Chains A and B, each alone.
With several copies, the nearest count.
Chain A
Amino acid sequence: MSAPIPPDGGIFQVRVQAEPFDAAVESARLSTGRTDVGAVVTFTGLCRADAGAAPLTALVLEHYPGMAEEEMARLLAEARSRWPLQGAVIVHRHGRIVPGEPIVLVATASAHRGAAFAAAEFLMDWLKTNAPFWKKEERAAGDRGAPSAGGWVAAKSADDDAAARWTAPDDAR
């Protein structure tokens, strides 16, 4: 039995990468070898297929290198200031992602489940509206039915509403 690691000794990490990630490995790291973590919440967002005349073949994610990592780190710091987290990981992919593949991972660890759930949901809501990533749809021949200019996915007002449930992490937006 290993001794409890003090809260400051936890893993807090953000990462932007083209490669797929292993959600299991990322979230297991938060509790392995520790006896002070009571709750781990893991969210995985995946690329979905859709039906229709020109089905989605891939999402191509563009991002703002540098700012993406910095903004994710700011969101993580904000989450830590709101909830007593013992660890948290955010991984966001860029590049071409086909249906069935993971796009984003948020994993949070805390002594109690309320904080782990709330922080994970907060991070996802704010990632959607604040992390500088843009999705473009790649569709089968014809490209009919693309939802917006040139295949770029339009921002959803539902995402703004979800982010607005939490008060703004800074006064920039």
Chain B
Amino acid sequence: MRILYFAWLRERVGVAEESLDPPDTVVSVADLARWLAGRDEAHAAAFADPKVVRAALDRRHVKPDTPLDGAREVAFFPPMTGG
């Protein structure tokens, strides 16, 4: 599974992208965020406040309880500030 980070999540994790295989217990997007937060201090800092973390599954916005369901690309980022 390809995992992307943007803006300050990217800066805190320290990489823009990583390839990981989460265990079967990781079912939803929120599960994945929690699992990532447990990996090391950098990930923990990125996911410290789940309320300001948004996610996309295969390039579509999703809610935290959305099942990963074989997605190939998961992205985490703060609320958007374009426009």
Contacts and interface: CB of A to CB of B under 8 A. Distances in A.
Given a CB threshold of 8 Å, the question of whether A touches B is answered with: yes
Contacts of A61: 82
Interface string B47-82: 000000000100111110000000000010111111
A172 B83 contact: no
Interface string B1-42: 000101110110000000000000000000000000000000
Contact of B75 (A67, A129, A130): A67
Chain A interface helix/strand/loop/mixed: mixed
Nearest to A61: B82
Given A64-B56, A64-B75, A172-B62, A131 B80 contact: yes
Contacts of A85: none
A150 B59 CA distance: 26
Contacts of A92: 82-83
Interface residues of A, number: 33
Interface stretch (A7-15, A21-29, A49-57, A152-160): A152-160
A64 B61 CA distance: 12
A155 B81 contact: yes
Contacts of B4: 64
B83 to A, nearest CB: 4
A124 B59 CA distance: 20
Interface in A33-65: 45, 61-64
A141 interface: no
Given A70-B60, A172-B62, 5 more contacts: A64-B59, A128-B81, A131-B80, A132-B77, A159-B83
3 closest residue pairs by CB, A with B = A133-B82, A155-B79, A128-B83
